[in-house]
Amino acid sequence: MPSKLIQKYMREEHLPHIWCPGCSHGSFMRAVAVAVDRLGLDHDKVVFVSGIGCSSRSAGYMDFNTIHTTHGRAFAFATGIKMANPELEVILFTGDGDASAIGGNHLIHACRRNIGITTLVMNNNIYGMTGGQYSPTTPTGEFGTTAPYGNIDRDFDIAELAKAAGATFTARANTYDLNQATNLIQKAIEHKGFSLVDCLSICPSYYGRKNKKGDAVKMIQWQKEHTVSVQKAQNMTAEELQDKIVCGVLCDYDYPEYTEKYQQIIDRVRKD
Amino acid sequence: MTKVLMQGNEACVKGAIAAGMRFFAGYPITPSTEIAEGSAVELPKVGGKFIQMEDELASMAAVIGASAAGVKSMTATSGPGFSLKQENIGYASEAEIPCVIVDVQRTGPSTGMATSPSQGDVMQARWGTHGDHPIIALSPSSVEETYRLVIRAFNLSEKYMTPVIFLMDEIIGHMREGVEISNDIEVIDRKMPSEDQKENYRPYDCADGELVPALAPMGKGFYYNITGLLHGGDGFPTNDNEVTGRQVLRLMKKIEDNRADICQSESQDMDDAEIAIVCYGGTARSADEAIFQLKEKGIKVGMFRPITIWPFPEEDFLKATKNVKKILVVEHNYGQILLEVQRLAKNLPVEFLGCINGKTISPDEIIAKVEEL
């Protein structure tokens, strides 16, 4: 018997999902459903947009208006949707490759415009759908099928990238603390303007196996040991923070939202 | 009715707004930039929106997103940008999202000659995006026709839930002519599903005998999935070959079976013509002058001008050229529509006059070529 959450918000007929055992994309998908439920959003006005890759299959499982777009372009599709109807709550599922490699340009410009889109990056440090190639967030020195001798690229911090590009809300969540993840996603949806949550997902099938990280439990355990909250990090030295990943709200400030600014242009032009 | 002097690109904006365009996403590129500039000025006046996206890929994607949310949308570009838009033109075709893509053709290949005319994107308009897909492409040959035909481009895209390529060229885009702005225009809006379809809505399952789906705009309470993956009636991806085969076949047939409605052409002086000049877009203007002068010399020559380029108006062409002895294809490329004409003309001799160096084909060149025949 599916849970009430699934019955209310997901397309039961298309479950179970396609993700591998141990993958935590489904946990973040659930966290989004919980956040939407807690916020009591108008079901008709929520749109899920996604790109291409494992992460982007999420949109199709949600029983809302959903659009599974092209690789990297979800930000641009979402921009068109939000411009056409600013009343819509636009939530975007993407992955590390989708958002920061092929979609990198679209990501930074969506941030720069501060358009009202909530972005959830299911960041598992690898291209999973195609079988384990290194992505822009695969740590330097680690392995993928296309980095058989170790990755020589420097890795991106997607939350930092978004913040630098102008996103007015950024946060990082992890698979170990799903309560925190749900709260952060909720805050991101509530935020007016462009918000992004870097969701540290785990991929035992490819990233884990290629890099001898152990099974899903071990990988989640690793996250528990290597993540610290923003509050705790404030009292830690640079040395102590060296092998830690900071989770929580990383940036949060007000700046006029793009479609509201455009509406002001329309109002001004039509008054003249 | 008033007659206004305007540029082809400007007429494109005016016509699009008359057709109901309320969203434009674009990226600057010569020789189409005036369409973006005009849209930026005019759209807010009618409550519409303009956005300059970060690149051509994004502007095509934004147009599809806005249309999926129920707003008639357009983008405009030229060759290099048209190449980049192909990815999402395929998406619009597969997901059946109506939109209009203007390509003001310039000389190629690659960056080519940015300010020089061409008709080199005719085959790209047909087959530019990967995989088997249907397409509609229209090509105007005057500023006046640009205004009327872009309205038709929107109407066809809404009626058949498909992207429509509006294939202009630098000659028409930058030409200035008088345009009669009429309020007496037909505007077609996409079909909406009925309220009682909300429960178990299956957007891509067409009613018996119907080929075009009724897709609800986002935000209206119809929950369904849109995807570029081959999908079933509910819009969810599937690997069931029977379902995917049926879906793509319907996509092809919705255009194929409606050729009579979609195809338009013009025949000029063809009744007693022994030589038919086949041309379209800006090239037709030189041919028009050439035909006038050739007839003065007593040469029996006429013009067949496809207005719908894809699907090619085969029936019109065969009817118009039934009694001619020779055909001359004049186009601003190395021979693209030429291939269609050769395929259809069968035993008739088909000659060709093209141009690939960025120059305009002059009436004199056409006259000389006809006199050679």
Question: Which residue of A13, A48, A85, A98 is the best one to mutate when testing the B interface, meaning the one whose CB has the most B CBs within 10 A?
Answer: A85
CB contact under 8 A, A106 and B54: yes
- The answer to whether B226 faces chain A, any CB pair under 8 Å, is yes
Taking only the tens of pLDDT, chain A with its 272 residues reads 679 999 999 999 999 999 999 999 999 999 999 999 999 999 999 999 999 999 999 999 999 999 999 999 999 999 999 999 999 999 999 999 999 999 999 999 999 999 999 999 999 999 999 999 999 999 999 999 999 999 999 999 999 999 999 999 999 999 999 999 999 999 999 999 999 999 999 999 999 999 999 999 999 999 999 999 999 999 999 999 999 999 999 999 999 999 999 999 999 999 98
Subunit contact A81:B49, Cβ cutoff 8 A: no
3-state secondary structure of B237: strand
Backbone angles phi, psi at A105, to 5 degrees: -65, -40
All structural domains of chain B, each given as residue ranges with its CATH number in brackets, are: 2-181 (3.40.50.970), 265-372 (3.40.50.920)
- 10 Å CB burial of residue A126 (0-12, 13-18, 19+) is buried
Residue B99 gets which letter from DSSP?
Answer: E
Q: Provide the angle, in degrees to the nearest 10, between the axes of the packed helices A178-190 and A25-39.
A: 50
Interface of B with A in 11-70 (CB under 8 A): 23, 25, 44-45, 47, 49, 51, 53-55, 57-70
CA distance A136 to A142: 12
Q: Which domains does chain A have, with CATH numbers?
A: 4-271 (3.40.50.970)
- For position A256, what pLDDT does the model report? 98
Report the pLDDT value the prediction gives residue A1, as an integer from 0 to 100. Answer: 67
Which residues of chain B are modeled with pLDDT < 70? none
Global ipTM: 0.97
Q: Which residues contact A235 (CB under 8 A, 6 or more apart)?
A: none
Give the contacts of A191 (CB within 8 A, at least 6 positions apart): A118, A168, A169, A252
Judge: A80–B67 Cβ closer than 8 Å, yes or no.
yes
Q: Under 8 Å CB-to-CB from B9, ≥6 apart: which residues?
A: B31, B32, B33, B34, B35, B38, B76, B104, B168, B173, B174
Amino acid at the residue A66? T
Q: Which residues of A touch B57 (CB under 8 A)?
A: 73, 76, 106
Question: What count of residues does chain A have?
Answer: 272
